[in-house]
Structure 1
Amino acid sequence: ENLLAGFHAPEFAKALLTPSFYQGTVGKSELTFYLLPDPKALPHLLKLLDQAKKKIHIAMFTFTHPLIVSKLIELHQRGVEVKVSLDQMGSRGASKMAAETLQAAGVPVQAFQGMPLFHHKWALIDESTLVLGSANWTQAAFKKNKDFILFITNINKKYLKNTVNTIKKDSLNCN
């Protein structure tokens, strides 16, 4: 299955055609969009993660960025429930060091056991902020790759419910 985000927002559509950055609202949701590489995107992500009060669930195909790993460990030690789901092959390959570092610090890391690729790239923070995009959480994604990352805060409750249901369904295939 794929997780898609759809909005009727002409201003946002225009922003997709121009490089860099968009910030605005759709309904009551606040959107912040970066075309990567953008030096402001990683600090924005780290700030949102740092604001977590209760829970962070991350699903990522490739996860290697040391600053994000360190932030998640810090949050876990602060009492935030952190859970990371990775692609099965990636958890034994490119993401292995990040997975082992997180696990050694007590952060649960699951490997997806379903279809051949667990190609998700999202995070749900306190069940009210969704981060998604084409970018894996790697240094290359934030510094070199042509990717995007979208932050949605004050997310629509119906959309959030559908997202959480997708998360739970996919998480059933993780160990």
Structure 2
Amino acid sequence: MSKIFLVLFLLFSSSFASSKIYFLPKDAKISSEKIISLIDNSKSSIDISMYNLSYKKLIKSLNKASKRGVIINFYLDKSKFKKSDKINNLVKNSGIKYKVLEKKNHLKLALFDKSTAVFGSANWTKESFQDNFEIIYMTDEVKDIKQIKEIFYSLEKNY
């Protein structure tokens, strides 16, 4: 009886949604590795709305994802886009689609394959991961994903 329960538990536990909070800089390594894993394992799309993105290892993974055919949509802040060579090089020298928003874009939000979200206070910069106190929240909770999809739809619609 206990073996049947264990098998059923293992089968059904994988179907339940999960969420995790990371506190930076303490969890910097594991959270950045998790984001890279999400990028590397994305099959169809990555949507990112980010105030500042300059972390080389994340940019490198995004470039690889773009080259293997993952559709990447960026929503960028106007002031940061003009100032950051790393963001400019990332989007201009790849097949990555981007939109520079007129309003200040202070979001730090990513959606992977429309099923897993990463958001919080951290920009995707080396400083945010290594030097700052930041929070990163990762979730595949259906109700959260639905709301995040609506945010990206609103960004696209109001661009």
Q: TM-score range by the shorter chain?
A: 0.7 to 0.9
Matched with 2:154 is: 169
Distance 2:80 2:158 in 1: 15
Matched with 1:34 is: 22
1:118-167 deviation line (CA, Å, top 9, x unaligned): 111010001100100100000001111100111102x21x4323221221
Matched with 1:148 is: 135
Matched with 1:138 is: 125
Please list every run of 5 or more consecutive structure 2 residues that lacks an aligned counterpart in the other structure: 1-12
Distance 2:150 2:88 in 1: 24
- SS at structure 1 position matched to 2:105: coil
Flag the structure with higher helix content.
2
8 A contact 1:50–1:71 mirrored in 2 = yes
1:45 maps to a residue whose letter is I
Please give the residue correspondences for 1:1-175 in structure 2 after superposition, counting only pairs within 5 Å.
Answer: 28-37=16-25, 38=27, 39-93=29-83, 95-114=84-103, 117-153=104-140, 155-156=141-142, 158-174=143-159
8 A contact 1:90–1:96 mirrored in 2 = no
The list of structure 1 runs, each at least 4 consecutive aligned residues, that deviate by more than 6 angstroms after superposition, is none
The Cα of 1:169 is off from its aligned counterpart by: 1.0
How many residues are treated as equivalent by the alignment? 144
Of structures 1 and 2, the larger Rg is shown by 2
- SS at structure 2 position matched to 1:136: coil
- SS at structure 2 position matched to 1:44: helix
Matched with 2:4 is: none
The Cα of 1:102 is off from its aligned counterpart by: 2.5
Distance 1:163 1:136 in 2: 17
